[in-house]
DNA sequence: ACCGTAAACTTATCGCTGTTAGGTTAGGTG
DNA sequence: CACCTAACCTAACAGCGATAAGTTTACGGT
């Protein structure tokens, strides 16, 4: 008999055999699709394999485990984020407007890829957040390898924001109190908006556009020299 | 024989039988403990049951499913949050300082209960976020029952923030542009700080205290009348 | 004091999950 | 043709959430 399992996959009859690189890319594509449409938990290795037209175990020849799929996808996401935040240095536009655009791009990109965003910025992979100090001050514990790598990638886009702010400070357009802290605050605001809308929907909030506008306005005014 | 399974539970020999209310409360206690120390996924019904000294299925006599445990815990969390944000109206303190304190309390409470916070504010229960509009504008879909209930509870603490800000606007201490938007922005900032520290640790950031200070400073300045 | 009944809890099992060990087949090289 | 390895498979494990149906315990009414 020819091992003709019943309802196999996308390509029922012929079972194709691909070189590693192609197969890897294909797995990544269908995995991202399933993660995005069904979520990380619901998208099982079996379903991913099924969509890819192979058996679940074949995935393990290309990726260490399910998390490895996630981190590979996260890498792509970060590349896109960096691209979205890399606005051409048309020095013609006013510098403050550039910061404004930076934050808008961040929020829009996050909302345009809500599930990747959640995977990347709102989950700590398998290792759970270790218990923190009871005063609420986290004792920065051992950071797993992949999380660290993710962090590096994230820092790249954060760096864009940071240097942007430093430039504005140098130009005297923003207060010089605490440039690094400013970048953190701007990021917190942007991330707060994105993650709140993702988890709770925008139904209970100020319309998203006005929300972004108001938030940016507050930030700008709040960081301006007195 | 007396059904003497090997290494049973906390109270090995005697198998106690509790009235529903007590058992329910006890299950909730151990479940919260396991959720907090090991995370929602890792804390299985079997482990919870084991810690409670009963079999897994007994839990289902008191809670519909695993999520019901979570929502019950979330309710307690929100009660604590509301309490933390209900500062006594010592009108003696300046009103702006009260808003400041409100945000500090929010962030500290969130960081003091990081895993409950994540469970409550950073996960959408089982149902995944439905695919959003491709322009990044969420199409507010059907909200599951429990999520809605969670939202109501969350709105209570948000309401405290909102009325606090409205009072400051009425007193002329803040701009009157968009009071509702201001509350959203303040919340986004607070939530952004908490969730970023929770998922990524505080290692890469401005020290948390300074971060809060700087953020609040920006918000205050940014909302003040020009 | 008995007994019925309902509450409290159990056993056994289902279909699912991520993952591993080890076997098989196809494609290209000598 | 023989071989070898990359690519893929089958079978299975331990654990998951959840259900159906059976058992034990406590308590209220007579």
pLDDT score recorded for residue B204: 64
A195 lies in the same domain as A101? yes
- Minimal CA–CA distance to B95: which of B196, B168, B201? B168
Question: Is 80 exceeded by the pLDDT of residue A58?
Answer: yes
How many Å apart are CA A99 and CA B35, to the nearest integer? 40
B50 lies in the same domain as B103? no
B124 lies in the same domain as B78? yes
The answer to whether the CB atoms of B187 and A192 lie below 8 A apart is yes
Mean pLDDT of B26-45: 93
Three-state SS string over chain A comes to CCCCCCCCCCCCCCCCCCCHHHHHHHHHHHHHHHHHHHCCCCCCHHHHHHHHCCCHHHHCCCCCCHHHHHHHHHHHHHHHHHHHHCCCCCCCCCHHHHHHHHHHHHHHHHHHCHHHHHHHHCCCCCCCCCCCCCCCCCCCCCCCHHHHHHHHHHHHHHHHHHHHHHHHHHCCCCCCCCHHHHHHHHHHHHHHHHHHHHHHCCCCCCCHHHHHHHHHHHHHHHHCCC
Residue A214: its chain B contacts at CB < 8 A? 177-178, 181-182, 184-185
pLDDT score recorded for residue A184: 93
Question: Is 70 exceeded by the pLDDT of residue B26?
Answer: yes
Domain of residue B117 covers: 69-130+141-223
CA of A35 to C1' of D21 (A): 38
Percent above pLDDT 90 for chain B: 53
B155 lies in the same domain as B50? no
CATH number at residue A32: 1.10.10.60
B110 lies in the same domain as B214? yes
- Whether B48 maps to a domain, the answer reads yes
- Looking at every residue in chain A, the average pLDDT score rounds to 80
CA of B202 to C1' of D1 (A): 65
pLDDT score recorded for residue B111: 92
pLDDT tens-digit readout, A121-142 = 887 644 443 333 322 333 233 4
B33 lies in the same domain as B74? no
Structure tokens, A3: 């091992």
CA of A53 to C1' of C1 (A): 72
pLDDT score recorded for residue B131: 35
Q: Most A CBs within 10 Å: which of B34, B41, B165, B184, as the mutation test of the A interface?
A: B184
Chains A, B: CB contacts within 8 A come to 202
pLDDT score recorded for residue B114: 83
- Whether B5 maps to a domain, the answer reads no
CATH number at residue A165: 1.10.357.10
The answer to whether the CB atoms of A204 and B115 lie below 8 A apart is no
- Whether B56 maps to a domain, the answer reads yes
Output B138 or A223, whichever has higher pLDDT.
A223
- Whether B136 maps to a domain, the answer reads no
pLDDT tens-digit readout, A162-189 = 999 999 999 999 999 899 999 999 999 9
Question: Is 90 exceeded by the pLDDT of residue A91?
Answer: no
| Greatest mean pLDDT range, A4-8, B96-100, B112-116 | B96-100
Mean pLDDT of B54-78: 94
The nearest alpha carbon in chain B to A225 belongs to B221
The answer to whether the CB atoms of A140 and B188 lie below 8 A apart is no
Residue A200: its chain B contacts at CB < 8 A? 151, 154
Mean pLDDT of B46-50: 98
Mean pLDDT of B115-141: 51
Count: domains in chain A: 2
Of A201, A214, A223, the CB nearest to B218: A223
B98 lies in the same domain as B29? no
pLDDT score recorded for residue B222: 96
Domain end point (choices B33, B63, B93) = B63
How many Å apart are CA A67 and CA B94, to the nearest integer? 50
B190 lies in the same domain as B86? yes
User: Which bases of chain D come closer than 7 Å to a protein CB?
Assistant: 6-11, 15-21, 25-26
A104-120 burial, b for 16+ CB within 10 Å, e for fewer?
Answer: bbbbbbbbbbbbbbbbb
pLDDT tens-digit readout, A18-55 = 999 999 999 999 999 999 888 888 999 999 999 999 99
Output A6 or A144, whichever has higher pLDDT.
A144
B169 lies in the same domain as B207? yes
Question: Is 50 exceeded by the pLDDT of residue B153?
Answer: yes
User: HSE on the CB side for A92, CA within 13 Å?
Assistant: 2
Domain end point (choices B63, B88, B119) = B63
The answer to whether the CB atoms of B199 and A124 lie below 8 A apart is yes
- Whether A185 maps to a domain, the answer reads yes
pLDDT tens-digit readout, B83-95 = 999 876 665 677 8
Cβ within 8 Å of residue B124, ≥6 positions away: A199, B147
pLDDT score recorded for residue A69: 94
- Whether A1 maps to a domain, the answer reads no
How many Å apart are CA B169 and CA B172, to the nearest integer? 5
A92 lies in the same domain as A166? yes
Percent above pLDDT 70 for chain A: 76
pLDDT score recorded for residue A11: 42
Domain end point (choices A39, A63, A87) = A63
- Whether A199 maps to a domain, the answer reads yes
A119 lies in the same domain as A188? yes
A29 lies in the same domain as A118? no
Output B189 or A129, whichever has higher pLDDT.
B189
pLDDT score recorded for residue A149: 61
- Rounded to a whole number of angstroms, the distance from the CA of A106 to the nearest CA of chain B is 11
- Whether A3 maps to a domain, the answer reads no
Cβ within 8 Å of residue A149, ≥6 positions away: A71
Mean pLDDT of A87-116: 84
């Amino acid at each position: 008999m020819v091992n003709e399992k019943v309802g196999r996959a996308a390509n029922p009859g012929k079972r194709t055999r691909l070189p590693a690189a192609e197969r890897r890319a294909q797995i990544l594509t269908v995995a991202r699709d399933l993660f995005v449409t069904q979520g990380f938990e619901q998208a099982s290795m079996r379903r991913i394999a099924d969509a890819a037209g192979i058996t679940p175990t074949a995935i393990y020849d290309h990726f260490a485990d399910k998390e490895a799929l996630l981190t590979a996808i996260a890498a792509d996401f970060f590349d896109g984020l960096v691209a979205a935040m890399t606005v051409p240095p048309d020095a013609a536009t006013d510098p403050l407007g550039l910061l404004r655009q930076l934050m808008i791009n961040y929020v829009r990109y996050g909302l345009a890829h809500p599930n990747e965003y959640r995977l990347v910025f709102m989950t700590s992979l398998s290792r759970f957040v270790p218990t923190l100090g009871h005063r609420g001050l986290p004792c920065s514990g051992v950071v797993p390898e992949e999380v660290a790598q993710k962090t590096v990638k994230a820092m790249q886009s954060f760096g864009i924001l940071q240097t942007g702010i430093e430039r504005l400070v140098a130009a005297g357009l923003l207060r010089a109190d605490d440039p690094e802290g400013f970048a953190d605050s701007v990021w917190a605001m942007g991330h707060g908006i994105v993650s709140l809308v993702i988890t709770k929907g925008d139904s209970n909030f100020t319309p998203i556009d006005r929300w972004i506008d108001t938030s940016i306005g507050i930030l700008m005014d709040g960081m301006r020299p007195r």
